[in-house]
Amino acid sequence: MLTEALNTELPQYPRYDGTEKLNLLGLAPGELRYFFKGLGEKPYRAHQVMHWVYRRGVLDFHGMTDLSVQFRKRLDLIATLDLPEIAHTDRSKDGTTKWLVNVGSGQAVETVFIPELSRGTLCISSQAGCALDCAFCATGYHGFNRNLTAAEILGQVFLANRGLKIEGAITNIVFMGMGEPLANYRNVMPVVQLLVDDYGFGLSRRRVTISTAGLVPMIYRLAKECNVALAVSLHAPTDDLRDQLVPINKRHPIRQLLKACWHYAEEIASRQITFEYVMLRDVNDSLEQARQLTSLVRGRPAKVNLIPFNSFPGAQFQCSSKHTIDEFCQYLRSQGVVATIRQTRGNDIDAACGQLAGKVENRMRVRLRDKVLKRLN
């Protein structure tokens, strides 16, 4: 199932085959240009359609008035712009909004909007469930069903914009919802391209963040093909502990992971890597572990984001005390490490970090924690 969860080959350029309508939502700019070329149209048609769809939110070809009537009718016959559907909406007392998004076959993922004074962050999902089985995460606890398509990933942005009804409310997008984004590279990359493209959503690359549990080969690939912010789920300063908390560490241990991170920071100029570190009482929160963490990142282009653990049904951990978290953070700062403490948002609606579960029918026969993974030394 881990192999099935890895979807890393880029898609073939689409061509209308005459059998069923092609969903143009989520096609990368190059894919869309190729599609129109196959119809005998000029490449600029892709830019026209992208402007209508991603800048103006028009999902009806007949509303794209700078296209000829004949061409609009033709598009309506062979293509579509289909969104997933919202199954349920929850709103937290702190202003956080969570949507349960139906992606078909009884599966649903969760999308979260977190409003702040200076920005609005949308947290989107890339898989229905997750095969990486991190011990402290509700998504991994419920297992894995399938990768989301690019349309299902990007559709979350459309649905959130519609639900918020405030133009410009979403300023930042983070791939920190359900799933491991780099395990669904094939469908995540077109979405990233559309988020930052001038004819797409036009976001600054610094305002788009991909989070990974540590798929080392894909971090190197990302450095070649993408230029957005990178966050890494570290959560432990030693391999022995990280093997237990983040099982993929058995294949890609900390030394290899950090080497890939520093490579990414070097290749992507002025990029600081954010290391996520969930605070688990009496597990990874001692001052000795703070010292070990300091030795890993001090003097590097790194920021440590300490995350108070958010519990969920079936969780085996407790959150560190506020005093312990503050003390841990102060030690890091005293050693010259940039460190922050994430403010918990949306935990009253199970929308906080680590709580997203959605509705997933698990297809994993053996959990990753139970597998013996060879380290690639």
185-196 and 150-164 helices, crossing angle to 10°: 40
Q: How far apart are CA 219 and CA 308, in angstroms?
A: 26
Instruction: Provide the sign of the torsion angle of the four alpha carbons 257, 262, 265, 267, taken in this order.
Output: negative
Question: Under DSSP, is residue 144 helix (H, G, I), strand (E, B) or coil?
Answer: strand
Catalytic residue of the set 134, 137, 261, 353: 353
CA 173 remoteness from chain centre: 8
Q: Is 110 a catalytic residue?
A: yes
Torsion of the alpha carbons at 80, 176, 243 and 309, rounded to the nearest 10: -140
Q: How far apart are CA 22 and CA 45, in angstroms?
A: 16
Q: Is 134 a catalytic residue?
A: no
Phi, psi angles (nearest 5°) of residue 143: 90, -165
Catalytic residue of the set 110, 152, 180, 276: 110
CB of 99 within 8 A of CB of 108?
no
Beta bridge partners of 306: 277, 341
353-375: string of b/e by CB count within 10 Å (b at 16+)?
bbbbbbbbeeebeebbbeeeeee
The residues annotated as belonging to the active site are 110, 353
